[in-house]
Structure 1
């Protein structure tokens, strides 16, 4: 299995549980593999099964407890989206976070709940990086990608823990995981090519399945205008010239609109749901990166979550679809 090393910001990794962390705590960085993260969460789920809910909640809420290990800690939600336990957001416990969406519209808590209800696994989303010892959900320009592992802890609730992607804070930091770094470079080259060569030449090259913008790992570039019309794509030739702005994923996110909005705001990361051809076109979370080319069109690419974690990560349907 591929091991992805991630940077952990100590005590400040919050999955939509509140707007601030402990102000006196400084962020530190530690290398943690995705396997480490999954093992930590599964251990917490096993503890909940053996100790019972009350004891588990008490332990998860304990800043000095067995599930607050330096940079990692466990939090818990029920399947309605209510925060049940969190060692550093006690004021938010009992609040409904089920409809929380990240800065680009991804319903992270609902996806976490659906994944946990399906047996658990990895999810990804955007969340603010800590600044001056706190997290501000209203600061849209601080959102960066995170990876979280979720697991069921009982019939009505689930547990999770998460870490930021290494280097996701931007230039000058530690490098991204290799697939993400390659994908970002592809988008940067594509945007530069479009500016230098012009739209017509760029569209032809982007749509070439054996061209310079399809790499050996299968990552590819695509281009849209700001109305959501597909302008170039190596694998969706029949859809070129069609507006996909209203396309919705199974969780209700209009992902082309969200990608467009990201490009329109200057570009950057986004997490969205898209079918994975390597998984029989089942829906999977994808970490995308987009950049504007000019004021009429933009380019983007993405990396499936399974490429980073090394584990298959198809998404289940919504909880409603599962009869929950």
Structure 2
């Protein structure tokens, strides 16, 4: 009978161990899985941008210049898709179509700078002369209350008279801080500046020194 008694005790011990480990109850819920920080991806890829412009070029060749320019200038037209829209220029940099800046149509913009002084139209022409290409510039975003944003443009020619382009916005433009005239900044520079002013006053007199110091 002893072996049987040992067997029962062994079973009881095993049962207690199983209960204490919680194996007989429902599995406890796993802790929250941390979410990965989303990686910013621009809404429009470069491939989509290029395909959009080439689609517009094909449209112009099929439907003709006048019909195409009317369609490209229509803010409710088929070539306004989210942040993407088509603009058209001739090779003198005169605007032929623009859905959000109709006041610019007929205006030559060769020497028109962007918000930071870049002659972006010249950049377009340089790219077009190579067949097509990308150009960085700064332009107002109609989707963000016309705020100035950095933009990557892609341009391609329709024929030897005119070309089309579009662009992708890359967020607010970073302001360019112009260089300022250097002034004393370190403690030693300030001390030297004051010492030289005192020496000048002692050598040339109060009136002459004040006149010199007040001269901008």
Same fold (TM over 0.5): yes
Gaps spanning 5+ residues in structure 1: where?
6-175, 307-312
**Could you tell me how far 1:184 is from its partner in structure 2?**
1.8
Map of 1:58-73 to 2, 5 A cutoff?
none
Could you state the TM-score of these two structures normalised by the residue count of structure 1?
0.41
What residue is the counterpart of 1:187 in the other structure? Answer: 53
Query: For the Cα contact (< 8 Å) 1:247–1:256, is it kept in 2?
Result: yes
Indicate if the aligned counterparts of 2:115 and 2:139 stay in contact, CA closer than 8 A.
no
- Contact 1:206/1:234 (<8 A) preserved: yes
Structure with higher strand content: 1
TM-score using structure 2 length: 0.60
The Cα of 1:323 is off from its aligned counterpart by 7.9
2:87 matches 1:222: yes
Partner secondary structure for residue 84 of structure 2 = coil
- Deviation digits for residues 241-274 of structure 1, max 9, x if unmatched? 1111111124331001211221222011111111
The corresponding residue for 1:210 is 76
For these two proteins, the number of residue pairs brought into alignment is 146
RMSD: 2.5
| Structure with greater helix percent | 2
Aligned residue in 2 for 1:315: 174
Larger Rg: 2
Gaps of 5+ in 2: 1-36, 183-216
Q: CA 1:202–1:282 in structure 2 vs 1: closer, same or farther (change >3 Å)?
A: same
CA contact (8 A) 1:282 1:315 kept: no
Bigger relative CO (Cα 8 Å, ≥ 6 apart)? 1
Partner residue of 1:266? 131
> What is the CA distance between 1:181 and its match in structure 2?
2.9
Residues 115-264 of structure 1: pairs in structure 2 closer than 5 A? 178-215=44-81, 217-264=82-129
Equivalents in 2 of 1:303, 1:268: separation in Å?
14
Distance, in Å, in 2 between the alignment partners of 1:223 and 1:205 is 11
Partner SS for 1:209? coil
